[in-house]
Amino acid sequence: MTKDYDYLLKVLLVGDSDVGKHEILSNLEDPTTESPFCSNNAYKTTTILLEGKRVKLQLWDTSGQGRFCTIIRSYSRGAQGIILVYDITNKWSFDGIDRWLKEVEEHAPGIPKVLVGNRLHLAFKRQVAAKQAESYASRNNMSCFEISPLCDFNIRESFCELARMALHRNGMEHIWRSNKVLSLQELCCRTIVRRTSVYAIDSLPLPTSVKSTLKSYALTTSQCFNSLTQNSKSRNRCKTPTSSSRNSCTIA
């Protein structure tokens, strides 16, 4: 069965019980499903597009009660990211982040974290300054976002940043960086060159500048093909290069 994602990341949302963690997840396209492991937890899945790769997030929403100590022990080992949530209209919820952060660091040290200030649409009731939150996040090596589920503001951005940090921590960033989606120009060049020859490009009803780009692309592609052909021929002479011969025989 073909997977509908390239990477799967497990993320925990933590914070006091009244900071609006459920609000953050409520507008996501996937339906909320009760966790089969804990009736007090709910988890939701959503898929984001990051550098041309589909990253599926399992978002676990906790109740925010003291029972979280047990929850973090149970689930932190498989989690790749933490979203620490506070309410910008409730200073106590921001002060409580210290407690949550200590729990996370005790049971999942070094895990990527993002600090999220919820309910930006109620900024006229603000009790936590944005600069205060940014300073706190900087001291604790976290990214910081202020979000609004009501306006659908910065929610995806915070998820993308956490996913990027998690992939980087697990050494996977080189994979999706090297497989970026091709630009529209490159796709067009590839399609045209594949259906014609370098010499026939001049006869195409295209502007001179476009023809020049196509010729350059065609010649570059041809040179790459020739290089690959030469390397293919050399495989018969050097199938299992030793450490002393790697510099003189490169296998494509």
182-220 pLDDT, tens digit per residue, is: 556 667 777 787 777 767 888 888 887 777 777 766 665
Distance CA 167, CA 57 (A): 12
Mean pLDDT of 166-194: 66
How far is it, in rounded angstroms, from Cα 184 to Cα 68?
Answer: 48
Quickly state the pLDDT bin for 252 (edges 50, 70, 90): very low
pLDDT of residue 57: 92
pLDDT of residue 87: 97
* Residues 5, 173: Cα–Cα separation, whole Å: 16
**Residues 122-139: tens digit of each pLDDT:** 999 999 999 999 999 999
Answer yes or no: are the C-beta atoms of 147 and 153 closer than 8 Å.
yes
User: pLDDT tens for residues 15-56?
Assistant: 888 899 888 888 776 544 444 444 444 678 888 888 778 889
Nearest to 168 by CA among 137, 194, 143: 143
* pLDDT for the residue 77: 64
| pLDDT for 238 beyond 90 | no
- Lowest-confidence range among 18-27, 148-157, 240-249? 240-249
